[in-house]
């Protein structure tokens, strides 16, 4: 009985060894190879992305030099609106559109509610000076 177990085990191992090409496909990936096609594609995409981000950073830096810092635009606009509209006028600022570059400065469109009516204005901010269009 003990020998029978070993014969069955040896038969299974022999069968697996003979049929190995059928159930274990060969791989194209070799550890000694430098990179695969996917690695090359990922590297190319990463380089393109970094180049694009660098170009965008240069463009934003040039615009900030020309118009002032973009990050402070909404703070300046809210301060301007608080000074323009007093509390008794019941002014409520609604969401504004994203800040974009314009010909005269950073431009955004803001909606607001004033005394029960709604309005919308375009504002241009250039080095802290707010202009309403």
Residue 124 domain-assigned? Answer: yes
Residue 92 domain-assigned? Answer: yes
Residue 88 domain-assigned? Answer: yes
How much of the chain exceeds pLDDT 70, in percent?
92
- Local confidence band at 55 (pLDDT 50, 70, 90 cut-offs): very high
Where are the extended beta strands (E) located within the chain?
91-96, 100-101, 106-114, 117-126, 129-132
Structural domains counted in the chain: 1
108: nearest Cα among 99, 117, 120: 99
Residue 14 domain-assigned? Answer: no
Residue 97 domain-assigned? Answer: yes
Would you state the pLDDT for residue 88?
Answer: 66
Residue 80 domain-assigned? Answer: yes
Residue 125 domain-assigned? Answer: yes
Residue 50 domain-assigned? Answer: yes
Q: In terms of residue numbers, what domain contains 62?
A: 43-133
Query: Is 99 or 24 the better-scoring residue by pLDDT?
Result: 99
């Amino acid at each position: 009985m003990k020998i029978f177990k070993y014969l069955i085990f040896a038969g299974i191992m022999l069968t697996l060894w003979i049929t190995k090409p059928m159930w274990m496909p060969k791989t194209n990936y070799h550890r000694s190879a430098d990179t695969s096609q996917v690695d090359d594609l990922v590297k190319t995409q990463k380089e393109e992305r970094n180049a694009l981000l660098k170009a965008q950073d240069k463009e934003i830096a040039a615009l900030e030099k020309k118009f002032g810092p973009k990050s402070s635009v909404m703070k300046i606009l809210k301060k301007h609106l608080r000074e323009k509209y007093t509390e008794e006028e019941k002014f409520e600022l609604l969401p504004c559109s994203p800040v974009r570059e314009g010909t005269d400065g950073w431009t955004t469109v803001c909606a607001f509610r004033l005394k029960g009516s709604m309005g919308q204005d375009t504002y241009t901010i250039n080095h802290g000076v707010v202009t309403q269009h």
